[in-house]
Amino acid sequence: MNLPDLKKAKIRSDKPSLYKKVENIHQDLFKNEKFFLKTYGCQMNVHDSEQIRAILENLGMSETDNLEDARVVVLNTCAIRENAHDKVFGYLGRVKHLKKDNPNIIVAIGGCMSQEENVVKEILQRHPYINIVFGTHNINELGSLIINATNNKQDIEVYSEEGCIYEGVNYSRDSKITAWVNIMYGCDKFCTYCIVPYTRGKERSRKIEEIIKEVENLKRQGYYEVTLLGQNVNAYGNDLKLGYDFAKLLEEVAKTGIKRIRFVTSHPWNFTDEMIEVISKYDNIMPYIHLPLQSGSDRILKLMGRRYTKQEYLDLVAKLRNKIKDVTITTDIIVGFPGESEEDFLDTLEVVDKVKYDGAYTFIYSPREGTPASKMLDNISLEEKEERLKRLNERINNYSKESNEKLVGKVEEVLILGISEKDNNKLYGYTKGMKLVNVIAEKDAIGKLIDVKITDAKSFSLDGEALKVNN
Ligand code: SAH
Ligand code: SF4
Ligand code: F3S
């Protein structure tokens, strides 16, 4: 048994990261059995679940989307806000019920919530039916933990270490068209509200040659798009001290010739001119930047530990718009950070008015145990926070509709990913600027880049008609 420890998770040393080659266990112990996998949280977790899926398939199981059919249930959790926590424990109620009828079911909890001390305490005290708790640092051990769990004892294996770098990971990917590629793990920014540095360890970059090898492999397999993943991609390479950075990596990935490249997330601090240069130089790097603002108030930005001012953020946006043709910019914003006044909030609205975002994820601040902000005096009522969120969302939605309307009548290249959820007669895909388009097209366009004439615009999507398949 290894329990999470937030104090240990805070430590950052100068020690070089450890490389580990992952051993993939192939054993048909669970042949003809099914697993159910549910994922919460960010792209990083979505990608981790592709590793979890490969591990479970290697044990002989196949996936089911029906919880009732599963022998093994895995929840890959997120800790970013309190409601993520509530959702998982709500869901566990159903699992507990199932396990009463069938004690053979193996329940495993992984992801960022597993890295939290209070969550694991709660599991120990109140959820004895959970067999396995594993963390973000030992996903590769899940196979053996499941094999051991057939003895029905509770096993908690969570490490609060700085973390290492895994190579040779097997992924069973969600898509055959677009793929996630981890370029680095962890985060050293310690924004005062954020739990991620504690749940994911220190910033560790994969070597450039390993990343290029993975992208080339994906290209060979017919993938059209890769998304380079890191909590803060601008920090890529710093820890390696090998003389290369994110701009260099991006350029090398572009040179592989894969059709589309994007990256998340880039911090507004240290977004270098070289990065902008490379993005504007290569056609296969999508002109799409997710640039979290969090707040437009200098006072709040300082309390958040974000390392930029409102003006510096606006200057960066101006540079991006200037240098990158047709760039789309999206963001994350938190309202109701401890002590946020109406004046502070108006500063945020002012930035929104100036940047006119293409889209945004907006959140009410949620205190996370162990973070500095959770100890700050939070004297704004929930009512006030909800009202600010509503005003912010109205403003954001107007601008995203406005930016979508500018595309009506134009022809956009769209990567078609599948059948539209809203209308089965249509397909859906994304423009180079990551705008969702519902398209009237033949089904064989799925997995292809097609030219689409945009016919209508809404706040969150576009409508269009296929003109021609490009390849
Ligand atoms: N590494 C990414 C963010 C990951 S978390 C980055 O720095 O941009 C995704 C978003 O969740 C953050 O951008 C922030 O807007 C939001 N978030 C993080 N912690 C939060 C908290 N305690 N309360 C509310 N929102 C939070
Ligand atoms: Fe959290 Fe800040 Fe790191 Fe993003 S950069 S993961 S918000 S600490
Ligand atoms: Fe959530 Fe962890 Fe991602 S806290 S947002 S799953 S890094």
- Mean pLDDT of the 397-410 span: 97
Task: Say yes or no: 31 and 49 in one domain.
Answer: yes
Ligand nearest to the Cα of 135, by number: 3
Instruction: Map residue 331 onto helix, strand or coil.
Output: strand
- How many other C-beta atoms lie within 10 A of the C-beta of residue 159? 21
Same structural domain, 273 and 353: yes
Nearest CA to ligand 2 atom 1: 194
Bridge partner list, 362: 333
- What is the pLDDT, as a whole number, of residue 23? 84
Q: Model confidence over 333-364: pLDDT tens digits?
A: 999 999 999 999 999 999 999 999 999 999 99
- For residue 43, which ligand has an atom nearest its CA? 3
CATH code of the domain in which 376 resides: 3.80.30.20
Q: Does pLDDT of 21 surpass 70?
A: yes
User: Residue 471: what pLDDT?
Assistant: 58
Q: Which of the pair, 454 or 470, is modelled with greater confidence? A: 454
Residue 121 lies in a domain: yes
Token pair recorded at residue 192: 């005062």
Read off the pLDDT of residues 252-284 as tens digits, 9 standing for 90 and up: 999 999 999 999 999 999 999 999 999 999 999
Residue 142 lies in a domain: yes
Q: Does residue 232 line the site of ligand 1, with CB under 6 A?
A: yes
Q: What is the mean pLDDT of residues 47-72?
A: 97
Question: What CATH number does the domain containing 439 carry?
Answer: 2.40.50.140
What is the rounded distance in angstroms from the CA atom of residue 111 to the CA atom of residue 84?
Answer: 12
Question: Is residue 189 in contact with ligand 2, taking CB distance under 6 Å?
Answer: yes
| Strands (E) located in 160-268 | 165-167, 178-182, 184-185, 204-205, 225-229, 260-264
Peptide bond into 265 cis (omega under 30): yes
Residue closest via CA to ligand 2's atom 4 equals: 231
Mean pLDDT of the region 313-317: 98
- pTM: predicted TM-score of the whole model, two decimal places: 0.96
Distance CA 225, CA 228 (A): 10
Q: Are residues 115 and 179 in the same domain?
A: no
Question: Pick the residue with more confidence: 25 or 345?
Answer: 345
Verify that 225 and 106 share a domain, yes or no: no
In this predicted structure, the answer to whether residue 392 has a pLDDT above a threshold of 80 is yes
- Is residue 422 domain-shared with residue 353, that is, in the same domain? no
For the domain that residue 143 is a member of, what is the CATH number? 3.40.50.12160
Please report where in the chains the tokens 């615009």 appear, as a residue. Answer: 457
Mean pLDDT computed over 206-218: 98
List, chain by chain if needed, residues with CB within 6 Å of any ligand 3 atom.
41-42, 44-45, 78-80, 111-112, 195-196, 199-200
Q: Are strands 178-182 and 225-229 parallel, antiparallel or unpaired?
A: parallel
What confidence score (pLDDT) does residue 358 get?
A: 97
For residue 23, how far is the Cα from the chain centroid?
25
Mean pLDDT score, 11-40: 91
Kindly state whether residue 20 falls inside one of the protein's structural domains.
Answer: no
pLDDT value at 151 more than 90: no
Please indicate whether residue 196, judged by its CB atom, sits closer than 6 Å to ligand 2.
Answer: yes
Note down the domain range covering 118.
Answer: 6-13+27-157
The answer to the question of residue 435 being in a domain is yes
Say if residue 444's pLDDT is above 70.
Answer: yes
The number of beta carbons lying within 10 Å of the beta carbon of residue 188 is: 16
Share of the chain above pLDDT 90, in %: 93
Query: Which comes out higher in pLDDT, residue 468 or 342?
Result: 342
The strand pairing partners of 67, in sequence order, are: none
Ligand 1 centroid–CA 80 distance in Å is 7
CA 98-101-105 angle, to 5 degrees, is: 60
Tell which atom from ligand 2 comes closest to the C-alpha of 267. Answer: 5
Same domain for 317 and 420: no
- Neighbour order of strands in the sheet with 288-290: 288-290, 328-335, 359-364
Q: What is the pLDDT of residue 85?
A: 87
Cα(372) to centroid of ligand 3, in Å?
18
Nearest CA to ligand 1 atom 13: 332
> Do 363 and 415 fall within a single domain?
no
Per the structure, the count of domains in the chain is 3
